[in-house]
Amino acid sequence: MRRIIGAILFMTMTSWAAENDRIDALERQLSELMSKQAELQARTDKLCAHWTDALELDGYGEMRFSKASDEDVMRSIYSFVPSIAYPFGERITLNVELEFAYEGHGGDGSHDVLSYSYIDFVLHEAMHMNLGHLLVPVGNANLGDEPPLFLGVDLPETESYVIPTTRHHNGLLFSGRIAGQWQYYAGVLDSINDNEIGIGVDSTADDNESHTSHAAPVARLDYISESAGFEAGVSYLGGSFSYHDESGNHGQGEITLLDAHLNYRQNGWDVKLLGVALQIKDGAFEGRMSGSYGTVGYDIMPLLGGSGELMPYVGYERYDNLITESVNWVVNTKAGVRYRPHKDVLVKADYRVRESDDARSHTAALGVGYLF
């Protein structure tokens, strides 16, 4: 009897041991499957992050309408400007901005423009190297012409006739921050085309030519205090350029552009000041231009107890155009209001008086802008 019971117990224990071995094998297989699944999920997450987390999309757009007393039609401009940033790791980033615009009555039709496309290499926390198609870092508007960054439906004419805006050229720029508050730019770009100087240049210009046989050194230095809302600085553009006159003659000239600017945005105030001087030489001709402007606005919405921003503003500018023979001097005076129901949405309206040595006109303008 004892032998029978012992045999039964032995068989039972042997069966349990075999079952435990099978359970252990299944657990190992399950662990291996879970490990492979986790590895596959990590690869999937990395692939998804490539398109979602890494890629940054933002931009702005605007619609502008204006009617001048010396024109028979109302002008209209619509633009949509998306920008993309894609990092190739922590120290290399691709930056691209495109502009899609349409100019209605009185304009030049639709156009598409590559505003910039460059690779940003982080060499040091205080030095970036930008290589590719770049914005020219002079003036106030070249580096920032988004609708919330200036007061007025249109940019001051000084930043079009004296400082060609918006300019973008192939080249190499070094930039960065020193001691936290000194922002610098320095580099070399391909040269400007002087046929556009003094006639009004913006990103809608068709003749945004590059002349890689000539170099244009550029430099900018700004003191920036975010806590005080203050920025002041100077910028320089020089070098040689190619030119061609109405007779088809080509040659080489020289350009020197210097500007000083000051911006303040704090405690409800929005102030912009700029002065610029430009000199060109092409052959026997030597021409000079100078200009300055100031815009001042104050947010009165807190006084009214409402939300958003309601900013009346005024602006004054004068520039001397001694390069072209059409106009020798221009004075613009404007008054308007900017309403922002949301920090990224705004409506602007203003009334401008433009006086020159041979004419006087009045313009009413309305603009709608947004950021995203």
Residue 34 located in a structural domain: no
Contact by Cβ (8 Å): 322, 287:
yes
Per the model's pLDDT, the better-predicted residue between 194 and 206 turns out to be 194
Per the model's pLDDT, the better-predicted residue between 39 and 292 turns out to be 292
Model pTM score: 0.78
pLDDT tens, 60-83? 999 999 999 988 888 898 999 999
What is the mean predicted confidence (pLDDT) over 117-125?
Answer: 96
Count Cα neighbours of 115 within 13 Å in the Cβ-side half-sphere: 26
- Which amino acid, 141? A
**CA–CA distance from 44 to each of 32, 37, 86 (Å)?**
18, 10, 19
Tell me, rounded to whole angstroms, the distance of Cα 248 from its chain centroid: 35
Highest mean pLDDT among 26-30, 94-98, 140-144, 282-286: 94-98
- Under the banding of pLDDT at 50, 70 and 90, the label for residue 338 is very high
- Nearest CA to 250 out of 240, 258, 260 is that of 240
Residue 23 located in a structural domain: no
Contact by Cβ (8 Å): 208, 168:
yes
Contact by Cβ (8 Å): 150, 134:
no
Question: What is the per-residue pLDDT for 292?
Answer: 97
Do β-strands 230-237 and 240-244 pair in parallel, antiparallel, or remain unpaired? Answer: unpaired
Question: What is the per-residue pLDDT for 47?
Answer: 54
Residue 143 to residue 31: CA distance in whole angstroms: 56
Q: Which domain holds residue 179?
A: 54-371
In percent, how much of the chain has pLDDT > 70?
78
- Under the banding of pLDDT at 50, 70 and 90, the label for residue 204 is very low
- Under the banding of pLDDT at 50, 70 and 90, the label for residue 242 is low
pLDDT tens, 271-291? 999 999 988 877 666 778 899
Residue 175 located in a structural domain: yes
Contact by Cβ (8 Å): 58, 370:
no
Residue 310 located in a structural domain: yes
pLDDT tens, 140-178? 988 887 888 889 999 999 998 888 777 788 999 999 999
What is the mean predicted confidence (pLDDT) over 248-265?
Answer: 86
- Is 222's pLDDT higher than 90? yes
Per the model's pLDDT, the better-predicted residue between 93 and 4 turns out to be 93
Residue 192 located in a structural domain: yes
| Domain count of the fold of the chain | 1
pLDDT tens, 247-256? 666 767 788 9
Tokens in use for 116?
Answer: 């910039």
Residue 18 located in a structural domain: no
What is the mean predicted confidence (pLDDT) over 338-367?
Answer: 95
Count Cα neighbours of 236 within 13 Å in the Cβ-side half-sphere: 11
Beta bridge partner(s), residue 333: 316, 353
Give backbone dihedrals phi and psi of 168, rounded to 5 degrees, phi first. -145, 130
Tell me, rounded to whole angstroms, the distance of Cα 342 from its chain centroid: 20
Question: What is the per-residue pLDDT for 200?
Answer: 47
- Which amino acid, 334? K
- Is 208's pLDDT higher than 50? no
Q: Which residues contact 284 (CB under 8 A, 6 or more apart)?
A: none
- Rounded to 10 degrees, the C-alpha dihedral 64/353/158/358 comes to 120
Residue 45 located in a structural domain: no
- Is 337's pLDDT higher than 70? yes
Residue 97 to residue 119: CA distance in whole angstroms: 12
- Is 109's pLDDT higher than 90? no
Contact by Cβ (8 Å): 296, 313:
yes
Least confident of 148-152, 207-211, 313-317: 207-211
- Is 336's pLDDT higher than 50? yes
Residue 211 located in a structural domain: yes
Contact by Cβ (8 Å): 314, 334:
yes
Residue 246's CB is within 10 A of a number of other CB atoms, namely 6
Residue 354 to residue 365: CA distance in whole angstroms: 13
Contact by Cβ (8 Å): 162, 279:
no
Q: Domain of 331: which CATH number?
A: 2.40.160.10
Place of tokens 């007393």: 69
